[in-house]
Structure 1
């Protein structure tokens, strides 16, 4: 989830950071993590989980929007159209006349060879492998499990470079203290109260390798996610957020491992005209819809 408006590190509360949980994402002092505080956005003048919607668009606005969407779809279809008739519309790159891949296109390669503790492992030692690792590590670092002591150690051990693990685990434990969990309405084990469901799920939208070598890489992961507590009486309603994680990776133990990470807000789109879902629907969605293994 993302670090919230009142984000900051335990020892340095006035400095920015984000937590992909909407609760708090650790950013320890030395730049190998950090701790944000709970972000609670309460809708103004409406039931948090009620069905309130923004005023409907006028018919003229709706026609305009539909017209723009139709034009966009037509433009995209035209841009991605193959030559279809054996003409010379190929890209000239020897791929049978198919359009050349854009710089941000997916590679199509399998991202990993296995999983350990629920976290994908075994990435390729190449630029795409580093980006796949960064995307999947972002999901783990901003998950609800990072708040649970019995799961946190496994995540740190799987994601981070070996030399940093003891120090980072201690700092995560300090960041996600009992007092911090109390503010989120969670018990000492990171579990929500009876009848409530704590949600922290991140979805990478895209990745970009800003630096790469055979042994190190820096990858930016653009993410969105849903964070908060669903259930009757919740004071931390589920909200969405957009943020970018930057992970510095090193090739070690035959895989990519995180050396350090940082987080910043956005890029964020204009909020859509979506009806707010009731709390039980949000909780069921998290339980019923499984996550993905992300690949570049």
Structure 2
């Protein structure tokens, strides 16, 4: 799922791509990519080595030293800035979105990750759920303007172009998929009042169903959010987005429409905490 390129583009109005099938039938069962047995063997070997190194490091890990957790030798950032902190995830939710983040850089990263998930969800395609979501995660001074801008972007015609009903719901027999999954976060600027966070994400978007002309596809992108501390919470002021970093596609065979729809219905999402 792709979000827009500026403050007025939440939810991916300008980034959606519709792919049409080259032949009738189930578009999800497409041809497998050319085999790369040698590269797969190399990946397997490297994976085993990485897991072994990780296991040794875990076994030899000392106690938690908060004074050294943020920086390495010489005061330089550690080489793994996106590793989990081990902090307990937030417990509260507002409008279906996790809330109650700490007033520090770590809390801002947790907020940005969870807000990325919300902005990439199916709730963005219906006005009622979209307005509720915006009231929860957007800075109060920006809500009214953003609601008006998104009303112009998420029109009934736009929804129809995606294969949805005019109200943003999925047609009978189809499952609408719009999910964003944060891979990691990075603070680029921080203060007590304002913090800027980059969120690296993977996304899914499309309609799962037989003969769908807009099958579920994946994408990779990075969202930059400027957050301000207001009303005892982190809220989005502005955001932008760019493509990537994108990994080399693997040899996985695309699932059938039924498998994709079932997976989306059965696998729930997560609350992200830094």
Shorter-chain TM-score: what band?
Answer: 0.7 to 0.9
> Is this contact kept in 2: 1:27–1:35, CA < 8 A?
no
Give the equivalent residue in structure 1 for 2:260.
282
Query: Which structure has the larger Rg?
Result: 1
Q: Number of matched residues?
A: 263
1:193 aligns with 2:177: no
C-alpha distance in 1 between matches for 2:40 and 2:219: 26
> Is this contact kept in 1: 2:7–2:239, CA < 8 A?
no
State the shift of 1:223 in Å.
Answer: 0.3
Give the equivalent residue in structure 2 for 1:226.
204
> Could you say what secondary structure the match of 1:163 adopts?
helix
Q: Unmatched 5+ residue regions in structure 1? A: 3-18, 20-24, 84-89
**1:61-100 alignment runs, 5 A limit:** 62-82=40-60
Structure 1 residues 210 and 44, CA, compared in 2 at 3 Å: closer, same or farther?
farther
Instruction: Name which of 222, 233, 253 aligns with 1:255.
Output: 233
C-alpha distance in 1 between matches for 2:103 and 2:177: 33
C-alpha distance in 1 between matches for 2:178 and 2:252: 20
The one of the two structures with greater contact order (alpha-carbon pairs below 8 A, sep at least 6) is 2
1:48 aligns with 2:19: no
State the shift of 1:71 in Å.
Answer: 2.8
Give the equivalent residue in structure 2 for 1:216.
194
C-alpha distance in 2 between matches for 1:63 and 1:250: 47
Between Structure 1 and Structure 2, the one with more helix by share is: 2
1:246-266 alpha-carbon deviations (Å, 9 max, x no partner): 000000111000001111100
Q: CA RMSD in A?
A: 2.7
> Could you say what secondary structure the match of 1:123 adopts?
coil
State the shift of 1:128 in Å.
Answer: 0.5
1:108-137 alpha-carbon deviations (Å, 9 max, x no partner): 222324101110111100110000000000
State the shift of 1:73 in Å.
Answer: 2.7
Structure 1 residues 65 and 35, CA, compared in 2 at 3 Å: closer, same or farther?
closer
Give the equivalent residue in structure 2 for 1:242.
220
1:145 aligns with 2:109: no
C-alpha distance in 2 between matches for 1:214 and 1:45: 56
1:108 aligns with 2:86: yes
Structure 1 residues 174 and 94, CA, compared in 2 at 3 Å: closer, same or farther?
closer
State the shift of 1:245 in Å.
Answer: 0.5
